[in-house]
Chain A
Amino acid sequence: MSSLLDSEVKEILDLRSFLTFDLNEQTFAVPVESVVEIQDMTAITKIPNAATHMAGVQNLRGKILPVIDTRVKFGLPPVVDTVDTCIVVIDMEVEEEKVLVGALVDAVEEVISIPATEIQSSKSIEAKFDLEFVSGMFKQDEKFILMLDLNKVFALDDDNKVSVDNIKQA
């Protein structure tokens, strides 16, 4: 019965849960539903000649996990490996296929729940970051937390455009 009650309460308040993490002293949030797990940053194998934000691949219990350096993706200098650095493993759907992708972040903070009504659109934020990847924001303890648009952050780079260079490589 209690669980039923919980969900009723939740429905009224429409609480959303997020995992927050830090990047360059700014806190970001991603919906917990998309987060599979959090990994330490261990041996990452870099794949040569890839885009700079592609940090490499990691062994996730026998699976190959592509890892994206979120800082580089946002136009910041690359992540420096500290004790706090970790990889947020995110469940994505890319081109109608489920894939796991790792996001390198400075530090993971906590899981928070906030009512949907408190989320604002991102239009009004002063542009310290490339806002292309931000889908909204909310305020917590006098601090603004930016919500990431995962589909944009971890989209495949669109270089399917046909160019002569591509053809010559073929």
Chain B
Amino acid sequence: MKEEDLIQLRNIFMDEASELFVKIEKNLLAAEQSPDDPTLIAALFRSIHTLKGSSGMIGSKKVTDFIHNLESIFDKIRSGMAPLTPEIIDCTLQCMDHVKVLIVDPELKKDKDQTNDQALTDRINQILSGSAKWATAQPAQTQSAVGRHTYYVYFKPHAHFLKDGSNPLLLIEELTEIGDTLVYAHIDMGQMSDYDPTLCYTSWQVVLSTDEPMSNVQEVFIFTQDEDIKEVKLLSNEDLLANPRFVQRMPKPELGADLTQEKIHDIIKGLEQEVEPVETDSATKVDAISNIRVASTKLDELMNQVSELITSQAALSLYAKNHFDPNLEVIADNMEKIARQLRDTAFDMTLLEIDHLFTRFHRSVRDIATQLDKSVHFVTEGGDTELDKTIIDNLADPLMHLIRNSLDHGIETKSIRAQRGKPEKGTILLKAYYSGAKVYVQIKDDGKGIDVEKIKQKALKNEIIKESDQLTDKELLNLIFVPGFSMAKDVTDLSGRGVGMDVVKKNVLDLRGDISVESVLGEGTTITIGLPLTLSVIDGLQVKVHDTDYIIPLGSVEKCFELKRSSFVNDFNQVVSLDEQQYPYIDLRGEFQISEDNAPVTNSIILVKDHEREVGFCVDEIVGEYQAVLKPVGKYYRDQEFVSGATILGDGKIALVLDTNNLISKKHNNLKLAAS
């Protein structure tokens, strides 16, 4: 095989394998918490098995052998012949790392890897030989396919099956994974008035065609209780499901028919009496492809083209509007609708669940905590929150840094925690959630917090602040983000690992995000990062202030009002009454230092919600909704942080996209300063 072919194959394999690695790690860590969960073990076995299969592709015997040994271990665990011990979990994690090395460097050129290889092989052998006292395991994957059989599986969980959190669907799903199935769910409930939602009324009848022996089918139910009724019967020595006439005669699954074994036998008999039609339908067995892999560069290209399309479409809409051609307007409206849908679909493709990131941290936290001899409970919430993949990619480093800080300098050692009356196990919570047009990622620890006084002393020493400066605690805390504020260990509780908090802040700002810190001495630190949902296209409200157009992200807009300008603009309290409630407001004319000369009599006030704060934005007029393709305004305007980008309007003019959160925070600080 040619060298480049091999490299290409390896790349394909790495692509697939990295997904499997993530899955395996995630399941291993979950299994650490609940080592008896059969679904986890089954999932682990499957992943490892798949990994073994695809590792054959790169033709490295070493890799395949290595994984094969792991597979044998998990096969034993799966068949209940060995427990999943922490030692196995730990060993498997390290093996995964080693396999990654093996793939890149099968000859193990580094001595370190060589010794590691030997050590791990020994460990595996030990585990395997330790299992000698376990009942002799069935040799894995030796049941050769003796052709497909069709089974009838009846499963009726006892009424209290759901009480201990068991999910019968997982078992059924497992059945569907070992072969082709027809699944019938039958609900036997009796009187509606006696319905108790905690009970299980459903039973399942499954026609399963598989090449696995009956014992393997029975194994699916190995973890169910004795009270659960399960039957596995052989229907036929052929693959009945591959017979379209059989399938045709079966009742439709969604009808909820009670399909007893007798009924099926009747159907089979009926089939045998019929003359077999000559033609064989070869098209019946086509696996539908539900997922495809796309290179991310192609997605980027798609997003760029969609952006261009939206800009052109805006020009078309404007042209149609200005030329009073009803036909053209209809076409333009249609175009706009399609462009919007296309944008959403394309955009959706570039979104990833933040869980991809969180999973990585589970592993790191575990390793670092062991290293530091600290006991940490690492909790993640909101892993299903979706973010642009570019943002997720660029978020990994700053988040890792923050988590390390929490582990290293936030969470105290076990003995100190005990002295302070805290639970021995520290907690780090990593949480993601939506609010308005933003996603927030929060890292919260219950460690010792940051000593504001120490920060002040250090800042004075470094001449970042002067003795005469009056800074609130929050402002002092924010000093940790200032470049040049040394993070030396003796001074603050934050890391001294070369990359400072200023880099973290810069990374976040580069993503058009913001970062804030809260800390209570002795109780813990919370760092919150706010991020835009996307870097490319947003739905916005187009407004006018003086002669300039602005876009306010629609996601954060709550309501719009109209008010006479004279009624509020000189109000001393800086609040407006809207819907009988008082809200602080930001007058954009005042904010942007535009003269009052040509201010309109009636103003629009847009109520914007950001992170639990509601603030009115006062603009000259509202133009309408606009899909804004965000473009950076560039470094020359980086001090104008309230402008998060610019967009090109239908007529070629530029509108500025406002970062309302930034304006609100600034306003908030100013008010606070004025009050103090």
A→B interface (CB under 8 Å): 43, 45-50, 54, 57-59, 62-64, 66, 68, 94-95, 97, 99, 101, 156-157, 159-160, 162, 164, 167-170
Least CB separation from B505: chain A residue:
A170
Report the Cα distance A38→B458, complex, angstroms: 52
Given known contacts A99-B634, A167-B482, is B548 in contact with A46 (CB within 8 Å)? yes
Report the Cα distance A108→B342, complex, angstroms: 44
Least CB separation from B636: chain A residue:
A66
Given known contacts A47-B633, A64-B632, A64-B634, is B591 in contact with A164 (CB within 8 Å)? no
Q: What would 18 A/B residue contacts be, using CB atoms closer than 8 Å?
A: A45-B656, A47-B637, A47-B643, A48-B592, A48-B594, A57-B633, A57-B654, A63-B631, A64-B634, A97-B635, A101-B636, A156-B635, A162-B464, A162-B484, A167-B464, A167-B482, A168-B669, A168-B673
Cβ–Cβ contact B475 & A168, under 8 A = yes
Cβ–Cβ contact B639 & A64, under 8 A = no
Enumerate chain A residues within 8 angstroms of B594, measured Cβ to Cβ.
Answer: 48
Q: Give the residue of B548, B549, B593, B637 whose beta carbon is less than 8 angstroms from that of A66.
A: B637
Cβ–Cβ contact A159 & B639, under 8 A = yes
Cβ–Cβ contact A95 & B635, under 8 A = yes
A50-B639, A62-B311, A101-B636 given; name 17 further pairs at CB < 8 Å: A43-B653, A47-B633, A48-B548, A48-B591, A49-B593, A54-B636, A57-B633, A57-B637, A62-B308, A62-B648, A63-B631, A66-B633, A66-B636, A97-B635, A162-B483, A164-B465, A168-B475
Q: How far is the CB of A146 from chain B (nearest CB, A)?
A: 23
Cβ–Cβ contact B669 & A169, under 8 A = yes
Interface residues of B in 405-446 (CB under 8 A from A): none
Q: How far is the CB of A145 from chain B (nearest CB, A)?
A: 27
Cβ–Cβ contact B634 & A66, under 8 A = yes
Least CB separation from A45: chain B residue:
B654
Cβ–Cβ contact A59 & B633, under 8 A = no
Least CB separation from B465: chain A residue:
A164
Cβ–Cβ contact A59 & B654, under 8 A = yes
Q: How far is the CB of A38 from chain B (nearest CB, A)?
A: 18
Cβ–Cβ contact A64 & B631, under 8 A = yes
A156, A157, A164, most chain B CB atoms within 10 A: A164
Cβ of B454 under 8 Å from chain A: no
Cβ of B479 under 8 Å from chain A: yes
Interface residues of B in 624-648 (CB under 8 A from A): 631-640, 642-643, 646, 648
Report the Cα distance A153→B666, complex, angstroms: 31
Cβ–Cβ contact A54 & B483, under 8 A = no
Least CB separation from B308: chain A residue:
A62
Cβ–Cβ contact B475 & A45, under 8 A = no
Enumerate chain B residues within 8 angstroms of A95, measured Cβ to Cβ.
Answer: 635
Cβ of B321 under 8 Å from chain A: no
Enumerate chain B residues within 8 angstroms of A97, measured Cβ to Cβ.
Answer: 635
Report the Cα distance A49→B666, complex, angstroms: 14
Q: Give the residue of B549, B635, B639, B652 whose beta carbon is less than 8 angstroms from that of A59.
A: B652
Interface residues of B in 188-228 (CB under 8 A from A): none
Cβ–Cβ contact A45 & B635, under 8 A = no
Q: Give the residue of A43, A50, A68, A160 whose beta carbon is less than 8 angstroms from that of B652.
A: A43
**Leading 5 A-B pairs by shortest Cβ distance:** A48-B592, A45-B654, A66-B636, A64-B646, A64-B631
